[in-house]
Amino acid sequence: MNVLTIVRIASEEFGVDDQGHITTHHWLFPATAELIYGGLASIIVFTLLWKYGWPPIKKAMNARTERIQKELDGAADDRSSAAVEAAQIRQAKGDIEGERQRILADADVQAAAVLTEGRARLLVEVAEVEAKSQADIAAANSRIGDELRAEISRLSSAAVDHVVTGSLDDATHQELIENFISRVGASA
């Protein structure tokens, strides 16, 4: 279908002026039938929107309003709790120096107690070590004395054997034995 055919069909239904423009009965208002059908259609559409569309829209708007109000209330509650918490922090900040002094005093008391306890424990350990060392020294003296006596006895026996076997007569031999016995008896 070409443009001329469309213009010819339009000119039969509507008016066409001398320049080929489609014209109606009035420059502002449409035809009467269009006003009636368009008006009825608009009324039907607006009625259906009012009856079926408006309640969900109203419900959504109310829900949105409630949600926003809850958010505002929650923000106000959060703000008030933050203000209370800030006041507590400021108060605690003011008490930090006092708390620091209290903690340092407690630490000094505990350190003094640990120091006193440590000194007492060290004194007990030193006394135990001294007692043990005295016992070890006494045992060592006793053992050394016994070993010295045993060594002297062995050397005396060896010396006596050497001297006796060498050139001692019976009288000198008897005198040496008696002197040795008297010396060992006197030292014990």
What sign does the dihedral 111-113-115-118 (CA atoms) show? negative
Predicted local confidence at residue 187, as pLDDT:
67
Structure tokens given for 4:
């001329």
Secondary structure class of 14 (helix, strand, coil)? coil
pTM of the model: 0.32
Distance CA 58, CA 68 (A): 15
Strands 15-16 and 22-23: antiparallel
Predicted local confidence at residue 66, as pLDDT:
94
First to last CA, the chain: 157
Predicted local confidence at residue 46, as pLDDT:
94
Those residues of the chain that have pLDDT short of 70 are 1-4, 6-16, 22, 24-27, 94, 160, 163-168, 187-188
What string of DSSP letters covers 79-137? Answer: HHHHHHHHHHHHHHHHTHHHHHHHHHHHHHHHHHHHHHHHHHHHHHHHHHHHHHHHHHH
Q: Taking a C-beta distance cutoff of 8 angstroms, is the pair 153, 160 a contact?
A: no
Predicted local confidence at residue 168, as pLDDT:
64
pLDDT per residue as tens digits for the range 88-131 = 887 777 677 777 888 899 999 999 999 999 999 999 999 999 99
Q: Taking a C-beta distance cutoff of 8 angstroms, is the pair 35, 29 a contact?
A: yes
Name residues whose C-beta falls within 8 Å of residue 115's C-beta, 6 or more positions apart in sequence: none
Distance of CA 49 to the CA centre of its chain: 61
What DSSP designation does 102 have? H
